[in-house]
Amino acid sequence: CVVSGPRIIRQLPPQLVNQIAAGEVIERPASVVKELLENSIDAGSSRIELTIDGGGVEMIRISDDGCGMTADQLPLAVTSHATSKLPDDDSLFHVGTLGFRGEALASIASVSQMTIRSRAEGEPSGSQIDIRGGVIESPGPCGCPVGTTIEVRNLFFNTPVRRKFLKTPQTERGHIVEAFTRLALANPKVHFVLRNGDKDMFDLLPTVRWADRIEAFFGTEISESLIQIENDDAQVKISGYACDPSVNRGNNRMQYLFLNGRHIRDRALQHALGEAYRGLLMVGRHPVCFLRMTMPPEMIDVNVHPAKLEVRFTDSGRVYSRLLQTLRQRFLATDMTHRVGPAP
Ligand code: ADP
Ligand code: MG
């Protein structure tokens, strides 16, 4: 043995544990945006405003008009493994919210300078806490409307290596816009605003027509070529739009799949989409789709991936075939002959 004497095992302090955990969930400013937007949605907000500066590295601020938090809950919100979303131990198996791990705020707070201002319905005033690198600095009352505002500054200020891996502000902003797009597409009834510095990028009024929200992001080229999709499967319900094959892309990034309100990426389902368009698209081209799937929570395990992009289905074959079949049946019922692009 080359080691002299036994090694000392040390229990890591919570701040360090959170910094390590942050590495899994918080990769870049867009991950902060995703987590904070999800929290605002879980809080039942009807209006959510996101402001970013310097590609989100300098500053990310999210204001919502959701349920808010009381003064005594604020310190808990930034404690790891503390959540209001699993009221009892059985709820893990039928999660109905986007969050449930109780880790995001603790992780973000451990690698940034964070200020939370919040006021719960019925409270005479709001309260505020400042956290710097995971340490709560100054809790106290503050004046604010019902809802929550979270400001994250100087991301990764205390983890220089991670900060060095960030790309240019423009690239980071691109990732933020993508995260914002996914959440805003999934929640058309919520009013979303995105501001970059003092410039408005998006002001998306609430709508019940999903196509309106899709058009707000992608314009009329897409919205005018949407084919409505709907099935009546009790277990794997699918609704939304698939684009006319004449509108296609060189990659599969314009395939937006949502499962129980959560944006997902799933290779098998992307494959099913490709199969559904087989013969309608030239080789190397990919379809454009916006599809919402609803399944009983017990048929899904969202716990697989820390950022929850990947899910595991108890019966993935069934989900694959339902998606393929739903699209194929719809395409058969639509006269697609004039829609097929030129022969290769
Ligand atoms: P999770 O979302 O998994 O519960 P988070 O760390 O993201 O974990 O948030 C911790 C808790 O803080 C949440 O469970 C919720 O009670 C509270 N919280 C966070 N953001 C908001 C918000 N915008 N409005 C109201 N409560 C919030
Ligand atoms: Mg959360």
- Residue at 127 is within a domain: yes
For residues 14 and 306, which has the higher predicted lDDT (pLDDT)? 14
Separation between Cα atoms, residue 38 and residue 41, nearest integer Å: 5
- Kindly report the average pLDDT of the chain as a whole number: 92
If asked whether residues 64 and 197 sit together in one domain, one would say yes
Closest CA relative to residue 276, chosen from 237, 233, 321, 319: 321
How far, in Å, from the CA of 12 to the mean position of ligand 1? 25
User: Which atom in ligand 1 lies closest to the alpha carbon of residue 97?
Assistant: 2
Question: Looking at residue 159, what is its pLDDT?
Answer: 93
Question: Looking at residue 302, what is its pLDDT?
Answer: 67
If asked whether residues 268 and 291 sit together in one domain, one would say yes
Question: Looking at residue 248, what is its pLDDT?
Answer: 96
Q: How many domains does the chain have?
A: 2
If asked whether residues 200 and 219 sit together in one domain, one would say no
What is the CATH classification number for the domain harbouring 261? 3.30.230.10
Closest residue to atom 25 of ligand 1, CA basis: 68
If asked whether residues 221 and 199 sit together in one domain, one would say no
- Residue at 6 is within a domain: no
User: Which atom in ligand 1 lies closest to the alpha carbon of residue 67?
Assistant: 25
For residues 242 and 21, which has the higher predicted lDDT (pLDDT)? 242
Q: Which of 137, 171, 204 is the last residue of a domain?
A: 204
Q: What's the pLDDT tens digit per position in 153-198?
A: 999 999 999 999 999 999 999 999 999 999 999 999 999 999 999 9
For the Cβ of 77 lying below 6 angstroms from any atom of ligand 1, the answer is yes
- Residue at 2 is within a domain: no
Segments forming the whole domain that contains residue 45: 14-204
If asked whether residues 289 and 166 sit together in one domain, one would say no
Mean of pLDDT values over 296-308 = 71
If asked whether residues 65 and 100 sit together in one domain, one would say yes
If asked whether residues 134 and 240 sit together in one domain, one would say no
Question: Looking at residue 341, what is its pLDDT?
Answer: 46
Closest residue to atom 15 of ligand 1, CA basis: 84
If asked whether residues 97 and 194 sit together in one domain, one would say yes
- Residue at 9 is within a domain: no
How far, in Å, from the CA of 7 to the mean position of ligand 2? 37
Q: What's the pLDDT tens digit per position in 237-270?
A: 999 999 999 999 999 999 999 999 999 999 999 9
Q: Which of 204, 226, 247 is the last residue of a domain?
A: 204
If asked whether residues 124 and 225 sit together in one domain, one would say no
Complex confidence, ipTM: 0.99
Closest residue to atom 7 of ligand 1, CA basis: 104
For residues 320 and 342, which has the higher predicted lDDT (pLDDT)? 320
If asked whether residues 246 and 200 sit together in one domain, one would say no
What is the CATH classification number for the domain harbouring 166? 3.30.565.10
